[in-house]
Structure 1
Amino acid sequence: MKVIGKSPGKLYIGGEYAVVETAYPAVIASVDRYVRVVLSSRSGAVGTLHSNQEADQTFDWHREEGRVVYKEDMPFQLVAMAQQVAERYLAEKGQPIQWAYDITIQSDLDHVSGQKFGLGSSGAVTVAVIQAVLNLGAYPWQPIELYKLSVMSQLFLHKKGSFGDLAASSFGGVIAYTAPDRAWLRGELKTRRLSDLVQMEWEGLSILPLEIPRELQWLVGWTGRPASTDYLVQAIQDVVHQEEREIAYVRMLEDSRICVVRMIEACRTGHAAMFMECISENRRILQEFEKGVGTVIETPLLQQLCQLAIEQGGVAKSSGAGGGDCGIAFVDDLHSERLIREAWSEAGILPLEIRVAERVTYGN
């Protein structure tokens, strides 16, 4: 038997950084670059894992007392935990997988050099592995199940962040997202079964579908410098404990909330001008925030990316953690889109051919 899991990457449109706090919204787009996971059943007790990120290596796995076990030096801990969580969930549902299988992972989210584009590869691979294992068990999953199992998988690995990338990869399309209360969730994980937690309402969590106003053209540029979300989020969390900088953090949270609520309304009503205003405002909020806490979100090349878009009548901002990776721009005519792409290329910024991914509905 052979099954496939397929999960899109993501880009933040607005609300990054603030969204790591419960009740502060973000707008996130899934993108049509994918992680694909193929599972192939095999005889015997040992399965294998192979990824195009480590093309010359194959890793063996087996089960001990029903648990998936790899060697400790296996670099794909996200994959191993996602596999374990999905198998545990199926067992709780009375549909255990008791045979071995080979795992093959192929990602479109990276540059040919191997550098990450900043499209949420860790989130996409987590969701794709869980989806593939559920497919192998012939389980008719819903997107919310993919999301919740993916969050629990990453919490077991002590991952930080809002898990907005997991929501975008699980649901597809564009979403308005607020993160669950992670302290509450960690407490529940200690005492409840996965299947019980999936069925529960999660405190603070909200995932709603949106559409970017149709008359706008969306551009994505890659600056060539990968950023680490965990590192940058931790840097922010470290500095906010310093009393003299806490004011900047609190101001950013409230300003971001007001801005993103307007952005969501612009998406719901198709109000392109309001949406573009919100993109510019969100950029200003992040610029003030980085000054206040003394970190770098908008690098010089991201600044240039934004300025080149503005010169052609567009709006632009960094996307996600900043510190490198991607910037996004919006314009309302095709001629300006072409000019921005040309200007970016001349400046050493790689325009990416990216569109919003289709919505995920259900599995099997």
Structure 2
Amino acid sequence: MITEKAPGKLYIAGEYAVVENGYPAILVALDQFVTCTIEESVQEVGQIISRQYNNDQLSWRRLGDQMVVDKRDNPFSYILSAIRVTEEYARTFSRDLRIFNIHIDSQLDSANGRKYGLGSSAAVTVATVKALCRFYNLPVNKDQIFKLAAIAHFEVQGNGSLGDVAASVYGGWISYHSFDRQWLAQQRKYLDLKTIIDLPWPDLNIESLTAPKNLELLIGWTGKPASTSQLVDKISLFKARRQTEYHHFLEKSKSCIQRMVDGFHRQDLEAIKNEIRYNRDLLKQLGTNSGVNIETESLSKLCQIAESFGGAAKTSGAGGGDCGIVAIDSNSNFGNVLKSWAKNHIEQLPLSVHFIDNAKSFKKSVKHHLSYIHK
């Protein structure tokens, strides 16, 4: 029996701009996880059982090397895509495909099943890829796991930056520049998967960051889930109609993230806070110009409360609900923020940054194609 887990994530800054090739964002991995357990089946039928989907169960068989599921309409799209892509990769190492059972457990949703916006689809994709790589004994490192999971996730969702996948793979605080997804879609038509994984991906850059010691990250949840895909699609319409304004937003966001990364390098909390505020203003203006309600009334209240006690706050992710984040000095009395949130029906998510121990990571291959920098 093999068990692997992947953490959830939150965006700190750079949302929406990061879906464009080469534009950066900052994310953080959190200590809530999706866990994937896999064991070989003793029968000719395998099962996927997920607490993430109310203990729903999916049965499947092999037809040659193909995985054949028993029902078409199912909530397991990301898991199935992760299996399909990882097994395609396993075949390039001449692995015999087997029948297995997978159990999925998730901490990334509320007790009643509502999503917090912590990247559960990315985490379940990463956890499944990691578990299958061990199951088939594949010689992979984090870079290759990221690329496999990114392909699997992108082939289901069709949009987004894949930054949430990067956070789930690498852990901690990261700066992420999105890669050219159109390039990837084209290469999938002509190249085998191992070649694609071994190639450098255009515009992709991932850097681990070290937060200032006095940076306290607070996370508030508004109780209203949001659909990232739908919100990104609406912004895409604005991009098509008002290209000049959209380009100005991109360049301002890029400069903001670069200044924030410099703040991490200098361990300068005030510089980081200033850029969080600036990024919030950029996103609010984008919402106004596009007619997309990025900062809802509840998120606005969350930010207003945090700012009144010295924190720098903004929406996290696509907005429209879900979470807001606050950077505040750990030496301050930030408990006042939490008390005021509670009075205004904003739930604190008591989560911490999750770091992935490189010593326990997968065996490193000789080639290192991804621009991944440890500071």
Give the TM-score of the pair, scaled to structure 1.
0.96
Residues 47-106 of structure 1, C-alpha deviations (whole Å, 9 max, x = no match): 10111133353210112220222121222111111011111111112233x321111000
Q: 1:299 aligns with which of 296, 306, 323?
A: 296
Are residues 1:252 and 2:277 paired? no
Residues 184-243 of structure 1, C-alpha deviations (whole Å, 9 max, x = no match): 11111111111111110000100111022111111000001111111100010012222x
Q: What is the DSSP-based 3-state SS (H/G/I as helix, E as strand, rest coil) of the residue aligned with 2:100? A: strand
State whether residues 38 and 100 of structure 2, in contact with CA within 8 Å, keep that contact through their aligned partners in structure 1.
yes
Q: 1:310 aligns with which of 307, 311, 315?
A: 307
Partner of 1:195: 194
Following superposition, the deviation at residue 256 of structure 1 comes to: 0.3
Distance 1:116 1:54 in 2: 11
State whether residues 221 and 328 of structure 1, in contact with CA within 8 Å, keep that contact through their aligned partners in structure 2.
yes
Q: What is the DSSP-based 3-state SS (H/G/I as helix, E as strand, rest coil) of the residue aligned with 1:190? A: helix
Partner of 2:369: none
State whether residues 170 and 360 of structure 1, in contact with CA within 8 Å, keep that contact through their aligned partners in structure 2.
no
Partner of 1:167: 166
Letter in 2 for 1:237: S
Are residues 1:145 and 2:109 paired? no
State whether residues 37 and 103 of structure 1, in contact with CA within 8 Å, keep that contact through their aligned partners in structure 2.
yes
Distance 1:335 1:266 in 2: 20
Partner of 1:353: 350
Partner of 1:73: 73
Letter in 2 for 1:235: K
State whether residues 11 and 319 of structure 1, in contact with CA within 8 Å, keep that contact through their aligned partners in structure 2.
yes
Are residues 1:37 and 2:42 paired? no
Q: 1:285 aligns with which of 282, 286, 295?
A: 282
Question: Any residues of structure 2 matched to 1:122-133 within 5 Å, and which?
Answer: 122-133=121-132
Distance 1:222 1:296 in 2: 17
Residues 240-267 of structure 1, C-alpha deviations (whole Å, 9 max, x = no match): 222xx33331121011011000001111
Following superposition, the deviation at residue 360 of structure 1 comes to: 5.1
State whether residues 28 and 176 of structure 1, in contact with CA within 8 Å, keep that contact through their aligned partners in structure 2.
yes
Distance 1:289 1:144 in 2: 33
Following superposition, the deviation at residue 336 of structure 1 comes to: 2.7
Distance 1:152 1:335 in 2: 43
Residues 274-311 of structure 1, C-alpha deviations (whole Å, 9 max, x = no match): 11111111111111111111111000000000000011
Question: Any residues of structure 2 matched to 1:47-126 within 5 Å, and which?
Answer: 47-70=46-69, 71-96=71-96, 98-126=97-125
Distance 2:190 2:155 in 1: 13
Are residues 1:323 and 2:329 paired? no
Q: What is the DSSP-based 3-state SS (H/G/I as helix, E as strand, rest coil) of the residue aligned with 2:254? A: helix
Task: Point out where structure 1 has 5 or more consecutive residues left out of the alignment.
Answer: none
Distance 1:280 1:352 in 2: 21
Are residues 1:265 and 2:280 paired? no
Aligned length: 360
Residues 122-159 of structure 1, C-alpha deviations (whole Å, 9 max, x = no match): 11111111111111112242111111011211233352
State whether residues 9 and 120 of structure 1, in contact with CA within 8 Å, keep that contact through their aligned partners in structure 2.
yes
Aligned sequence identity (%)? 36
Are residues 1:208 and 2:207 paired? yes
Q: What is the DSSP-based 3-state SS (H/G/I as helix, E as strand, rest coil) of the residue aligned with 1:241? A: helix
Task: Point out where structure 2 has 5 or more consecutive residues left out of the alignment.
Answer: 364-375
Q: What is the DSSP-based 3-state SS (H/G/I as helix, E as strand, rest coil) of the residue aligned with 2:56? A: coil
Following superposition, the deviation at residue 335 of structure 1 comes to: 4.4
Structure 1 stretch 56-65 or stretch 85-94: which is displaced more?
Answer: 56-65
> What CA RMSD, in Å, does the superposition of the two structures yield over aligned residues?
1.3
Partner of 1:235: 234
Q: What is the DSSP-based 3-state SS (H/G/I as helix, E as strand, rest coil) of the residue aligned with 1:135? A: helix
Partner of 1:10: 9
State whether residues 164 and 177 of structure 1, in contact with CA within 8 Å, keep that contact through their aligned partners in structure 2.
yes
State whether residues 42 and 101 of structure 1, in contact with CA within 8 Å, keep that contact through their aligned partners in structure 2.
yes
Distance 2:53 2:273 in 1: 41
Distance 2:95 2:12 in 1: 39
